[in-house]
Amino acid sequence: MSKEYVLQLQHIRKEYPGVVALKDVTLELKQGEILALIGENGAGKSTLIKCCSGAVVPTSGKIVVNGKEFESMTPQLAAENGIAIIYQEFNNVKELTAAENLFLGRPIKKGIVIDKKAMEREADKAFEQLRIKIDPKSLMKNLTVGYQQMVEIAKALQQDAKILIMDEPSAPLTSAEVESMFRVVERLRSEGISIIYISHRLEEIYRLSDRILVLRDGEYVKTLVTKESEIQELIKLMVGRELTENYPLRSDCIKKDEVVLELQDVCGNGDEKISLTVRKGEILGLGGLVGAGRTELAEMIFGAAHKKSGQMIFRGQEINPKSPREAIDLGIALVPEDRKRHGAMLGISIKNNINMPIYAKNATLSVINTKAEMQTAEKYRKSLAIKTPTLHQLIKNLSGGNQQKVILARWLAANSELIIFDEPTRGIDVGAKYEIYKLMNYLVEKEGKAILMISSEMEELMGMSDRIVVLSEGRMTGELKKEDFSQETIMEYASVANTEEGKTV
């Protein structure tokens, strides 16, 4: 093996029950270079770096660090071999000082007491080296996110890291902070530190990196030399999978001109000036990367979060739901992404899960009409084909697909006009996925509902939507008609960086 590589991941494969997260991925990092790692959501970037940190044990493959071969890493081994990872969420203690955080877990001691003075002196030196001005005595919580990140980097260097892996380091930073982070990263490179830089902001990658490694669906696609590549080529490599046409077709029997929901310049919950319309009988896809502000938008429409400004017009009336209850009563429903935490009430029966939003409405003097609740549940068991021996069954005993149907039944029973799906098929197996798609089609086609669908799966987004609106970093970056759908355009819109100043820290 060539000596110029400080880190090599060779033929890494990682299987989880039922899924292959990484298939034969090879990564080679040269000394003193910045290697950008890119790919869509779920391409396997995180899993790959977790193999380096020891958080994930690969099913097969080898990890070679400075010529030493390992089957897998442990966090301790990684540290001993000079690998450090700067995560998006910092591992710091907010109530301690910068110096104390720098030496967290291995303080400088004088006898049995901690030598605060020495730690502050050392911290000062470490910060000096990075040419950043941080008072070692200031509490972590009083530092800006950018400085907190610098403390993390300083900590990694303090522990003799030679290989630095940075996971979306620019995501939480303001533009000014991003600039100074770039300068630090470039200085580190000139000092011979090797860096793996993960980001979805393509401009940054062109600005910083020497080479680019592209992953797609857990597979290694290509490694490019940054200077010799084009942004269009890169996007093609990221999204260039074969589109399989296995989406059920919809017939257009409903005139799609009746606007159900209209948003005008809606701001709040991290989103800025979102304007869109959803019509009766259509599926509006909401595309973008994880963290683009799509779920946040759904929360505002559903009353789970509050908008700061702008207007929401639902079926001709301006609305301002203060709670999910109000939104539900208006006819808005949300099928959340995290089914187990936000959707299904696992310890409760199917029947009760379906009836939960309408109990109060159908009760006489608070007493439940047990016959009616059973009938409602029975009706939707039939029409949605929920597979269960009895409706008294606890929902946790159902498969993911059937759980999703129960939640759908809940909203149909509540007479919702607009149904927001947040990642409708996450955690659902392939066969059941198709069934959910058919149900969605049935809802818009036969029931005349309007659907707003958030999806990070490119295929699903393009296969199911009538139109697609793309968000990036809380802003709307594009809207596409069905005939203009293309993976490349969506990806391009989704990676537009927020260049405006003054993003809140």
Partner 1 sequence: MKEKVVYQLKDKAIWVVLAVLVVAFSIANPRFLTPSNQLTLLRQVSMYGIASIGMTFVILLGDIDLATGSIISFVNILCAYLMVNMGMNMVLAIVITLIISTLIGTLNGFMVSTIGMPALIATFATQTAFQGIALIICGGLPINGFTEKFKIFGQGYVGIVPVPVIIMIACFAVGSFILNKTYFGRYFYAVGGNIEAAKLSGIRVGRTKYLVFSISGFFAGLAGIVMLSRTNSGMSNAGLGYEFEVITCVVLGGVSVTGGYGKMSGVVAGTCIIGALKNGMVLMNINSYIQSIVLGVVLALAVGFDCIQKKRQTT
- Smallest distance from partner 1 to CB 6, Å: 39
Distance, in Å, from the CA atom of 124 to the CA atom of 173, rounded to the nearest integer, reads: 23
Nearer to partner 1, 96 or 346 (CB): 346
- Give the nearest distance from C-beta 357 to partner 1 in angstroms: 4
Nearer to partner 1, 194 or 355 (CB): 355
Closest CB 348 distance from partner 1, rounded Å? 6
Give the residue with the Cβ less far from partner 1, 256 or 340: 340
Residue 356 Cβ vs partner 1, minimum distance, rounded to whole Å: 4
Strands 109-110 and 450-454: unpaired
Contact yes or no for 195/185 (Cβ under 8 A): yes
What's the min distance (Å) between Cβ of 454 and partner 1? 15
DSSP letter, residue 243 = P
Give the shortest CB-444-to-partner 1 separation in angstroms.
22
Closest distance of CB 84 from partner 1, Å: 32
Which residues are bridge partners to 198 per DSSP?
37, 167
User: Is 324 or 427 the residue whose CB approaches partner 1 more closely?
Assistant: 324
The least CB distance from residue 337 to partner 1, in Å, is 11
Taking the CB of residue 138, how many other CB atoms lie within 10 A of it?
Answer: 13
Provide, rounded to whole angstroms, the least separation between the CB of residue 366 and partner 1.
Answer: 4
- How far apart, in whole angstroms, are the C-alpha atoms of residue 59 and residue 75? 17
- Specify the length of the chain in residues: 505
Taking each helix axis from N to C end, the angle separating 231-239 and 487-494, rounded to the nearest 10 degrees, works out to 110
Identity of the residue, 93 or 360, whose beta carbon is nearer to partner 1 in the bound complex: 360
**Distance, CA of 143 to CA of 154 (rounded, Å):** 14
Task: Give the nearer residue to partner 1 in terms of CB position, either 414 or 491.
Answer: 414
Q: Which of residues 133 and 341 has its CB atom nearest to partner 1 in the complex? A: 341
> Taking the complex as a whole, how short is the minimal distance between the CB of residue 358 and partner 1, in angstroms?
8
| Residue nearer to partner 1 on the CB measure, 341 or 481 | 341
What is the binding site for partner 1 (CB under 8 A)? 302, 304, 323-325, 328-329, 334, 336, 341-348, 352, 355-357, 359-360, 363, 366-368, 370, 397, 410, 414
- Whether 8 and 28 have beta carbons less than 8 Å apart is answered as yes
Residues sharing a CB contact under 8 Å with residue 184, sequence separation 6 or more, in sequence order? 130, 131, 132, 150, 153
Backbone angles phi, psi at 84, to 5 degrees: -130, 145
Residue 244: DSSP 8-state: P
Check if the beta carbon of residue 274 is closer than 8 Å to that of residue 454.
no
- Alpha-carbon distance of 137 to 135, in angstroms, equals 5
Q: Which residue is it, tokens 């098929």?
A: 425
How far is CA 50 from each of CA 104, 192, 406, rounded to the nearest angstrom? 22, 23, 35
Write down the least CB distance from residue 303 to partner 1, Å: 10
Are 335 and 424 in contact by the 8 Å Cβ rule? The answer is: yes
- Rounded-to-integer distance, Cα 23 and Cα 47, Å: 11
Q: Which is nearer to partner 1, 218 or 321 (CB)?
A: 321
Q: Which is nearer to partner 1, 48 or 327 (CB)?
A: 327
3-state secondary structure of 427: coil
Q: Which is nearer to partner 1, 213 or 406 (CB)?
A: 406
d(CA 107, CA 119): 8
Structure token digits, residue 475: 């802003």
- Side chain identity at residue 94, one-letter code: K
Longest Cα–Cα distance in the chain:
81
